[in-house]
C-alpha cells in the first residue's frame, strides 16, 4: 500500500517531497519492525520450550534407588541463559514499541500533508487504515493510545506545545485539547504512561 501512495505523491508538485520522504522512512521502519517481531516470536518460543522442559523434568517419576542428592531441575547455567533470553526479549519489545511509535508519527504526518495538499480521499483513508494496523500491533504488546482530543489538558499524560484562543473553536472551553501533534501511549495492564501526547490546547 505504501508503495502505491509513493507513486501517487510523486506525481504531485515538489512541495510534497517531504511527504514522499516520510513515506519512504515509514516503509523502511515497517521492514525493520517485521524483522524485530520475528525475533520477538523466536524468543517467546525459546522461553516456552525451556519452561516445558522444566515441567517435564518435574513430572518424571522418581527412580527407586538409594537416597542421593537430588539434581537441580534447572542448572545455574540454564537459569542464567533463561534470564538473558528474557532480558533480550524485553529489549526487543522496547525497540519494537518505539519503532511502531515512529511509524505512526510518520503516517500522521503523511495524512496531514495529504489533506492539506488536496490528495484524493481514498489515499487518506488508506493511510488511516495503515495507522489503525499499527495501533492494533501495539495492543498486542499491551499498549494503547491515550485519548486526549477534546479532553482538558492533563500534565500527567500530555505536553502542551502551543495554544489557540478559545473563541477559535465553536463551543470550546479553556484548556481543552483541540489538536494532537503527536499521540501519547500507555501500558494497558498497568496504566503506566509510555509517552506523553504533544497537544495544542485552548486558552
Parse the chain into domains and list their residue ranges: 1-60+73-141, 143-203
- Condensed to tens digits (0 to 9), the pLDDT of residues 130-139 reads 999 999 989 9
Cell representation of residue 140: 498486542
pLDDT at 22 over 60: no
Looking at per-residue confidence, does 65 or 191 come out higher? 191
Looking at per-residue confidence, does 55 or 194 come out higher? 194
pLDDT band at 183 (very low <50, low <70, confident <90, very high): very high
Q: How far apart are CA 184 and CA 101, in angstroms?
A: 9
Q: What is the pLDDT of residue 119?
A: 72
| Four-point Cα dihedral 91, 92, 97, 100, nearest 10 | 150
Helical ranges in the chain per DSSP H: 2-10, 17-59, 76-116, 121-140
pLDDT band at 9 (very low <50, low <70, confident <90, very high): very low
- Residue closest to 172 by CA, chosen among 197, 138, 203, 140: 203
Helices 17-59 + 76-116 axis angle, to 10: 160
pLDDT band at 63 (very low <50, low <70, confident <90, very high): very low
pLDDT at 24 over 70: no
Q: What is the pLDDT of residue 47?
A: 62
Q: Where does 143-203 sit in CATH, by number?
A: 2.30.22.10
- Condensed to tens digits (0 to 9), the pLDDT of residues 70-97 reads 555 667 888 788 888 888 887 887 888 8
Q: What is the pLDDT of residue 142?
A: 93
> Is 169 within 8 Å of 176 (Cβ atoms)?
yes
Cell representation of residue 98: 518505539
CB under 8 Å to 114, separation ≥6 — which residues? 9, 19, 123, 124, 127
Most confident of 3-7, 74-78, 120-124, 147-151: 147-151
Q: What is the pLDDT of residue 74?
A: 65
Looking at per-residue confidence, does 197 or 127 come out higher? 197
Q: What is the pLDDT of residue 28?
A: 62
Amino acid at each position: 500500500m505504501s508503495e502505491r501512495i509513493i507513486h501517487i505523491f510523486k506525481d504531485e508538485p515538489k512541495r510534497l517531497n517531504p511527504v514522499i520522504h516520510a513515506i519512504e522512512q515509514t516503509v523502511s521502519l515497517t521492514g525493520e519492525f517485521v524483522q524485530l517481531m520475528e525475533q520477538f516470536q523466536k524468543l517467546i518460543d525459546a522461553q516456552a520450550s525451556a519452561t516445558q522442559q522444566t515441567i517435564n523434568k518435574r513430572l518424571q517419576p522418581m527412580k527407586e534407588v538409594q537416597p542421593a542428592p537430588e539434581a537441580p531441575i534447572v542448572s545455574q547455567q540454564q537459569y542464567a541463559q533463561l534470564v538473558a533470553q528474557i532480558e533480550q526479549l524485553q529489549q526487543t519489545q522496547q525497540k519494537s514499541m518505539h519503532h511502531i511509535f515512529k511509524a505512526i508519527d510518520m503516517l500522521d504526518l503523511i495524512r496531514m500533508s495529504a489533506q492539506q495538499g488536496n490528495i484524493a480521499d481514498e489515499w487518506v483513508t488508506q493511510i488511516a487504515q495503515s495507522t489503525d494496523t499499527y495501533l492494533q500491533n501495539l495492543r498486542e504488546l499491551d499498549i494503547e493510545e491515550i485519548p486526549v482530543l477534546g479532553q482538558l489538558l492533563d500534565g500527567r499524560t500530555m505536553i502542551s506545545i502551543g495554544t489557540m484562543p478559545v473563541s477559535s473553536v465553536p463551543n470550546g472551553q479553556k484548556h481543552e485539547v483541540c489538536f494532537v501533534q503527536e499521540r501519547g501511549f500507555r501500558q494497558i495492564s498497568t496504566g503506566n504512561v509510555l509517552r506523553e501526547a504533544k497537544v495544542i490546547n485552548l486558552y
